[in-house]
A and B are shown apart, each in its own frame.
Chain A
Amino acid sequence: MYSEKVMDHFMNPRNVGEIENADGIGEVGNAKCGDIMKMYLKIENDVIVDVKFKTFGCGSAIATSSIATEMIKGKTIQEALKLTNQAVVEALDGLPPQKIHCSVLAEQAVKSALLDYAKKHHITLDELNDFHPDEDHHEHGEEYEEA
């Protein structure tokens, strides 16, 4: 069901934890739907020098959070803003259709954290003008029943 990449990031997630006095914190998802991602950023001179995450969710939710942190660490804000859920899926060698929403959540977690940073530092990030992380991210695949 999952690629080796997904299982690797699930079993050995990178950058788990919190950052004290983080410059930006983003939290998306909700417990009712079964996934919450929280992302912490440390930003110096427009560069993401450190990033940590905590996730409540399924295997792919943890794996997408983990790889997203890897993909933005050391990058500039502008570069991190370009992170898409498709890029996250590709980096993980694919996700099952019903798990694509996890990659959307990972992208939104990064953007939420950047938005938080922008607000705290009174910066405007034009790329986030149309960003509404609270919108329903759930696009699960077709339902099937258990035995």
Chain B
Amino acid sequence: MNKRIYLDYSATTPMKQEVLEEMLPYFTERFGNPSSIHSFGREAKQAIDQARSRLAKAIGAKQDEIYFTGGGSEADNWAIKGVAYANRDKGNHIITTKIEHHAVLHTCEYLEKDGFEVTYLDVDEYGMISLEQLRNAITDRTILITLMFANNEIGTIQPIGEIGAIAREKGIYFHTDAVQALGNVKIDVNALNIDLMSMSAHKIYGPKGVGGLYIRKGVKIHSLIHGGAQERRRRAGTENLPGIVGFGKAAELAIENLDGHIRHVKDLRDRLIKGIMDKVDYVRFNGHPENRLPGNAHFAFEFIEGESLLLSLDMLGIAGSSGSACTSGSLDPSHVLMAIGLPHEIAHGSLRLTIGDFTTAEEIDYVINELPKIVDRLRQMSPLYEKVKGGQK
């Protein structure tokens, strides 16, 4: 395998050189504990403050509304459990959707075992929720709406501003998992009426193992991790100093380059979609046609199975992902593909290719050239295809 083509930016991104350089001194000479009173501690504390201010600026928040966590999943857990338990005296009802990330879904299921009631909103064939269904789901016991900004599989972006307005009007906290959206969509937490927002560094060319939760001032929330006084006493544990510095730099770069980034990945994404749709029959394009992440392309190829597609692509050095059952280790295809109403047999042939800043037109053209051949090879082996084509093709 000579060249490798990475088209799985929604899984994780490579770190940018500028981010790495910013982080490096904080592993060695500027290693201090930010809680220490001496100069080592103070310079570490300063670095964290700078990162916090960069992140706040990126989403239109105040600096003291940003809390660093060990990643996006921790931020989701904290937001949902923290708000649920802190507001239990007001009610026990939470509204979410059927297409959330497992960090949200499994947290909600956990709370259901502890007496909370959860409404899982449906989505349409494009993965969009209905604002009417949302309004109808609200009761006087509803304390939290947790609804993802953009879907990690099919890329659909929800009407976050409208949802935020409804939540604000009804006096219900609104949390959004923006792990996929940050750095791909312009986000202003005030304009969108977001009360809590989960973020992750490694999806925006930053390091793994660090994320953040935006908590609007005044939101009643319990802590998840108790201990020292870090993060305004709300998230204990000595800070992941280099990680936080890297997250801050990555957020700054993401916002500086947002328009250019969107243009670059969207152009390549549209080129990929057109190339594949033109060359392959019996393929479905999933997600919303317009309201979607700029770098997300999601296909379902009929008569073949996603894992064999991924393996074949991998043999050519092309990295993608699939929501087929065989790659998730469970019997059913992904809950997102089920929620948009894809029949099982079509969902099994799904392929997600996600494009990022380092993707080139040559790489996309290579995929457009090779992918149809792989699909054809697998279809020639498939008894399902034989039925459609009468074994003739």
Contacts and interface: CB of A to CB of B under 8 A. Distances in A.
Contact of B305 (A61, A98, A138, A145): A61
A70 to B, nearest CB: 16
Interface stretch (B58-66, B159-167, B209-217, B326-334): B326-334
Contact of B12 (A62, A141, A142, A147): A147
Interface string A7-23: 10011010010100000
B278 interface: no
A146 interface: yes
A2 B307 CA distance: 12
A36 interface: yes
Contacts of A116: none
A61 B324 CA distance: 14
Given A31-B345, A38-B383, A56-B382, A147 B303 contact: no
Contacts, number: 91
Given A18-B386, A138-B331, A143-B329, A57 B11 contact: no
Contacts of B12: 147
30 contacts: A2-B311, A10-B311, A11-B315, A13-B381, A18-B391, A31-B344, A31-B348, A32-B344, A33-B344, A34-B345, A34-B348, A35-B305, A54-B382, A54-B383, A54-B386, A56-B303, A56-B305, A56-B381, A58-B307, A58-B308, A58-B327, A138-B331, A140-B330, A143-B328, A143-B329, A144-B329, A145-B102, A146-B102, A146-B321, A146-B327
Given A55-B383, A59-B307, 20 more contacts: A10-B308, A10-B311, A11-B312, A16-B380, A18-B386, A34-B305, A34-B326, A34-B345, A36-B383, A36-B384, A56-B304, A58-B305, A59-B311, A62-B381, A140-B329, A140-B331, A142-B329, A144-B328, A146-B327, A147-B11
